[in-house]
């Protein structure tokens, strides 16, 4: 580069710092009056408020965290083909499979770890006892949150151990983290999607600082599970840097938020008698059940997407090619989010007949295509056979779904419902016309706010009812009378 050009390049002058207030002003302008908190702030299931961006001021007050060495481990990890934590390991992964969110995993695991350490130090020095405690975690699909979770675990453990001898946070308090990929978000359908999920989970574990990692082959071959880790090590070089997330405003802020909330939960458990008492009393089970129910509701309503399960299903896949992994020995339940949808598909398969849905497209081109696509995903989740057409004459479908615009639904429903003998459903939620459409004969509505499990369960029951017979679904108006 010419010397003159080098003299003209001045990053400080050409790219002056932009104050946060200026960024916020631009954001408010783009929002055009929309609520900032509702549109841009992510409320996690742990009730953390995650901002749309973070700057250096977000790390104010986190000096101890930033100076703590190896909060994210030493950067390398052991590839473990089989998940085999020590028999007495602190099983945070079982909390995960029982429905725990990140704060619960951290808080309850810390309480269990402190309880174990207290027993061990009764007859041996702290330096020896702390090395005998191993933690087993599972990593889920929330990529950055899972990185922060493992980093927060190390911070919390160092703080707890330091309390035994009133020392400052120090990397000399090792935390053995044995980690595996989650099971609760895996499905026996669309099995190779599980491999994609497992890859991002493995990345979270590696960047978060695991010591040993197992990628469980849920529906794909064991050698592929091992290869995921080899690629992350030998091609992506995720083992080349210790605590690669250190200094990231976003991840450091989430690490701190998780650690603070988990420490509060830990203190609460301690004040009520410790981990064993909380477990035996059922307090932990009740807490996990609430978290699990909220997550299941989000999946059932499709506010939370499981690709291939509650959205974008492979409609040609009628029977699964794999079985679920065997359950762990645990006093807590182990529930996969896909199971309710899998049971719906199993019911249609066992019936020996797949219900057929006719997506009747009519009127406004944009709206009918959009609503037909929505209905295709919605009904495909239950294993229905789906056909699209612009006429219902001669159809042998078990169900007709009208796909049009709100303005055209009433006239269309009056025509179709007076002619056919099968249930007619509207794709959409035309609130101003609900009663008129019901009066015309419409038997239901599917839309973004529908509970997919409840709605599909009812429709599958109708479609598979013994009263439903084959043949044309159409009749003349005279025959209908």
pLDDT at 292 over 80: yes
User: Can you tell me the mean pLDDT for 183-189?
Assistant: 96
Rounded to the nearest 10 degrees, the angle between the axes of helix 249-271 and helix 102-120 is 60
Residue with tokens 């109708």: 462
Supply the pLDDT for residue 11.
77
CA distance 202 to 137: 12
Q: What is the pLDDT of residue 477?
A: 39
Interatomic CA distance for residues 265 and 108, integer angstroms: 7
Side-chain half-sphere exposure of 413, counting CA atoms within 13 A = 30
Does the structure show a pLDDT above 50 at 475?
A: no
- Pair 296, 374 in one domain: no
CATH of the domain at 362: 3.40.50.280
Contact 154, 72 (CB under 8 A): yes
Find the CATH number of the domain harbouring 273.
Answer: 3.20.20.240
Asked whether residue 329 is assigned to any structural domain, the reply reads no
pLDDT in tens, 237-276: 999 988 889 889 999 999 999 999 999 999 999 999 999 9
Which range, of 35-44, 193-202, 307-316, 350-359, averages the lowest pLDDT?
A: 350-359
Determine if the pTM surpasses 0.85. Answer: yes
| Domain edge (last residue) among 233, 265, 300 | 300
Q: What is the mean pLDDT of the chain?
A: 91
Whether residue 36 lies inside any domain: the answer is: no
Q: DSSP assignment of 284-333, as one string? A: HHHHHHHHHHHHHHHHHTTSS--BTTTBS--TT--S-SS-PPPPPS-SS-
Q: For residues 274 and 364, state if they share a domain.
A: no
Stretch 306-320: mean pLDDT? 92
The three-point CA angle 164-165-168 to 5° equals 105
> Is pLDDT at 58 greater than 90 in this prediction?
no
Residue 448 pLDDT more than 50? yes
Per the structure, the complete domain to which residue 445 belongs is given by 353-464+471-480
Asked if 364 and 275 sit in the same domain, the reply is no
Q: What is the DSSP letter of 360?
A: E
Q: What is the pLDDT of residues 426-438, one digit of tens each?
A: 999 999 999 999 9
Do 236 and 364 have their domain in common?
Answer: no
CA distance 77 to 214: 10
Whether the pLDDT of residue 351 is over 70: the answer is yes
Q: What pLDDT shows up at residue 72?
A: 72
Lowest-confidence region among 66-75, 91-100, 405-414? 66-75
- Chain-centre distance of CA 329, in angstroms? 24
Residue 313 lies in a domain: no
**Does the pLDDT value for residue 378 go beyond 90?**
yes
Predicted confidence (pLDDT) at residue 219 exceeds the cutoff of 60: yes
Kindly state whether residue 430 falls inside one of the protein's structural domains: yes
């Amino acid at each position: 580069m010419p010397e003159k050009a080098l003299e003209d390049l001045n990053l400080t002058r050409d790219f002056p710092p932009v104050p946060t207030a200026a960024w916020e002003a631009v954001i408010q302008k783009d929002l055009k009056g929309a609520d900032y908190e509702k549109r841009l702030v992510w409320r996690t299931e742990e009730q953390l408020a995650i901002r749309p961006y973070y700057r250096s001021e977000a790390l104010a007050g986190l000096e101890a965290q930033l100076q703590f060495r190896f909060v994210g481990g030493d950067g390398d990890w052991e590839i473990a083909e089989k998940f085999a934590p020590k028999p007495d390991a602190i099983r945070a992964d079982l909390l995960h499979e029982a429905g725990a969110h990140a704060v619960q995993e951290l808080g309850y695991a810390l309480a269990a770890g402190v309880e174990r350490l207290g027993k061990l130090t009764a007859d041996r020095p702290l330096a020896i006892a702390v090395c005998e405690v191993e933690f087993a975690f599972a990593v889920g699909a929330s990529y950055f949150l899972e990185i922060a979770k493992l980093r927060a675990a190390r911070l919390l453990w160092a703080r707890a151990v330091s309390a035994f001898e009133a020392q400052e946070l120090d990397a000399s308090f090792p935390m053995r983290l044995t980690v595996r990929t989650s099971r609760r978000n895996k499905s026996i359908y669309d099995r190779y999607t599980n491999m994609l999920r497992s890859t991002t989970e493995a990345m979270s574990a590696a960047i978060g600082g695991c010591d040993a990692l197992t990628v469980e082959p849920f529906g794909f071959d064991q050698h592929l599970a091992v290869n995921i880790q080899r690629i992350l090590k030998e091609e992506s070089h995720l083992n080349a840097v210790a605590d690669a997330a250190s200094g990231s405003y976003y991840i450091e802020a989430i690490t701190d938020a998780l650690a603070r909330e988990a420490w509060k939960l830990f203190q609460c458990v301690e004040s009520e008698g410790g981990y064993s008492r909380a477990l035996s009393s059922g307090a932990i089970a009740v807490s996990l059940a609430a978290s699990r129910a909220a997550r299941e509701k989000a999946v059932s309503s499709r506010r939370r997407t499981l690709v291939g399960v509650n959205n974008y299903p492979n409609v040609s896949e009628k029977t699964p090619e794999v079985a679920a992994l065997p359950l762990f020995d645990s006093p807590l339940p182990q529930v996969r989010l896909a199971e309710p949808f899998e049971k719906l598909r199993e019911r249609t398969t066992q019936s020996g007949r797949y219900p057929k849905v006719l997506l009747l497209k009519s009127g406004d081109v944009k709206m009918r295509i959009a609503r037909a696509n929505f209905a295709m995903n919605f009904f495909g989740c239950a294993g229905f056979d789906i056909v699209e057409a612009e006429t219902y004459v001669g159809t042998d479908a078990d169900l007709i779904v009208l796909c049009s615009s709100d303005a055209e639904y009433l006239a269309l429903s009056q025509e179709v419902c007076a002619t056919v003998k099968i249930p007619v459903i509207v794709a959409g939620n035309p609130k101003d016309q609900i009663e008129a459409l019901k009066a015309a004969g419409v038997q239901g509505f599917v839309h973004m706010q529908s509970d997919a499990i409840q709605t599909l369960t009812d429709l599958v029951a109708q479609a598979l009812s013994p009263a439903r017979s084959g043949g044309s679904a159409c009749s003349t108006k005279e025959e209908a009378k």
